[in-house]
């Protein structure tokens, strides 16, 4: 059985970054809006 294919996209193609929420050792967390649905979420970049 083959492993499923993973498709990676640049988060900036999917989300509009609104503001920086925090920063740490593993990256920066942004409040973002999904461009298709308008949903607000957090994105680590």
What is the gyration radius of the CA atoms in the chain, in angstroms? 13
Instruction: pLDDT tens for the chain, 45 residues: list them.
Output: 777 887 788 878 899 999 999 999 999 999 999 999 999 999 998
Residue 45 is labelled as binding a ligand = yes
pTM, two decimals, is 0.70
Which among 43, 40, 38, 34 is positioned nearest to 15, based on CA atoms? 34
């Amino acid at each position: 059985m083959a492993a499923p294919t993973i498709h990676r996209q640049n988060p900036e193609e999917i989300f509009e970054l609104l503001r920086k929420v925090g920063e740490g050792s593993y990256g920066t967390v942004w409040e973002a809006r999904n461009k298709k649905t308008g949903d607000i979420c957090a994105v680590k970049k």
